[in-house]
Amino acid sequence: MPISEFEVITNYFQQDFPQRAEINLGIGDDAALCTIPTGMQLAVAIDTLVEGVHFPIKTSSQDIGYKSLAVNLSDLAAMGATPAWMTLALTCPQPDETWLRGFRQGLFELAKTAEISLIGGDTTCGPLTVTIQVAGFVPQHCALQRRGAQPGDGIYVTGTLGDAGLGLATIQNQITLPLPIQKFVKLRLNRPSPRWHEGQALRGIASSAIDISDGLQADLGHILIASGVGASIQLASLPLSEALGYIPLNYAWNLALSAGDDYELCFTVPPQQEIALQKVLAPDSYTRIGTIESTAGLRCLTADGQLFVAKQLGYQHFC
């Protein structure tokens, strides 16, 4: 007999997830009840992953579980918020227990690391779609936002860029890489590392922030528009992993600028906060890539000052 909706909830989602003190009533009633700690604002974000659109059809359920939370934690990171709780709306074609076990395992693994509680959700039948809504705490008026960048501010990114895009190209058989490199880039695609620790550390230091989900060019573009400024970035400064050394430099720049799915942070820091920045982030965890300017638009410059225009490689959701 196929497993019922209620068995899915009790067997896979009701137990073992972190239980935070602010949760007064979790899974099992018509709604959860939570208390926001005094002095905190609630940052709320939601992201949906649709099979074949946001992840390739053969992606393992472990990776789907992990990534559907990771992309949401990345949004909290961009706001400087501390992960607190989440709800999960899971739509899947058939209640397949092997699939569910894997999904739960991937979700659970990251939930435990991020100390985020699963407080409710909805379970339905249909084409595979995972929606997670997250909520996090940020001290009143301390949230990072897209607006706030000023001319003269340095532009920074965490981690390395373009790995996930190379992972997708590998899965789509557009490129063949040595096995260990393939493994690394696929991991970067399927298991991004949301930077919530860095996001929290940047409160009061960064003048603006965003997470890179659609590619640096598009996402930094959102900061520029929200802040009413422009920017120049130096391509030679883009942090590229060893994996991108296996492909031509122009291709690597295109991936780093426009492939998306990196889930690193892009943020700006005023000159007077640079010392504070050096104190809160490990030196090898972030890179300065350019400067905010008053002239609108984004200029990507080669070492000899030529303008480089990236091809759009990222998946254009919507459809």
By CB under 6 A, name the binding residues for ligand ADP. Answer: 9, 13, 27-30, 88, 90, 118, 120-123
| Residue 121 interacts with which of Mg ion, ligand ADP, none, CB < 5 to 8 Å by class | ligand ADP
Pick the stretch among 32-40, 116-124, 220-228, 301-309 that binds Mg ion (CB under 5 A): 116-124
Shortest reach from residue 31's CB to Mg ion, in Å:
10
Shortest spacing between CB 26 and ligand ADP, in angstroms: 8
Nearer CB in complex with ligand ADP: 14/291 = 14
242 forms part of the interface with Mg ion (CB under 5 A): no
Q: How many residues does the chain have?
A: 319
Is 115 or 122 the residue whose CB approaches Mg ion more closely? 122
Indicate whether 16 belongs to the interface with Mg ion (CB under 5 A): no
For residue 122, the minimal CB distance to Mg ion (Å) is 4
Compare residues 104 and 195 and give the one whose CB is closer to ligand ADP: 104
Please name the residues in contact with 91: beta carbons below 8 A apart, sequence gap of 6 or more. Answer: 124, 125, 126, 127, 128, 129, 130
- Which residue among 122, 124, 278, 294 contacts Mg ion (CB under 5 A)? 122
CB of 101 to ligand ADP, least distance (A): 14
Whichever of 83 and 120 has its CB closer to ligand ADP, that residue is 120
Contacts of 121 (CB under 8 A, 6+ apart): 9, 13, 27, 87, 88, 89, 90
Which window, 85-93, 115-123, 162-170, 200-208, contacts Mg ion (CB under 5 A)?
Answer: 115-123
- Minimal distance in Å, beta carbon 292 to ligand ADP? 42
* Contact call for residue 115 and Mg ion (CB under 5 A): no
The one of ligand ADP, Mg ion, none whose footprint includes residue 28, by CB under 5 to 8 A per kind, is ligand ADP
Report, in Å, the least distance between residue 197 CB and ligand ADP: 26
Nearest residue (CB) to Mg ion, 28 versus 37: 28
Q: Least distance to Mg ion from the beta carbon of 128, Å?
A: 18
Q: Is 5 in the site for Mg ion (CB under 5 A)?
A: no
Residue 81, both tokens:
């918020």
Q: How far is the CB of 14 from ligand ADP (least distance, A)?
A: 7
For ligand ADP, which is the closer residue by CB, 5 or 242? 5
* Closer to Mg ion by Cβ: residue 92 or 256: 92
As a three-state string, the secondary structure of the chain is: CCCCHHHHHHHHHCCCCCCCCCEEECECECCCEECCCCCEEEEEEEEEEEECCCECCCCCHHHHHHHHHHHHHHHHHHHCCEEEEEEEEEEECCCCHHHHHHHHHHHHHHHHHHCCEEEEEEEEECCCEEEEEEEEEEECCCCCCCCCCCCCCEEEEECCCCHHHHHHHHHCCCCCCCHHHHHHHHHHHHCCCCCHHHHHHCCCCCCEEEEECCCHHHHHHHHHHHHCCEEEEEHHHCCCCHHHHHCCHHHHHHHHHHCCCCCEEEEEECHHHHHHHHHHCCHHHEEEEEEEECCCEEEEECCCCCECCCCCCCCCCCC
Q: Which residues make up the interface to Mg ion (CB under 5 A)?
A: 122
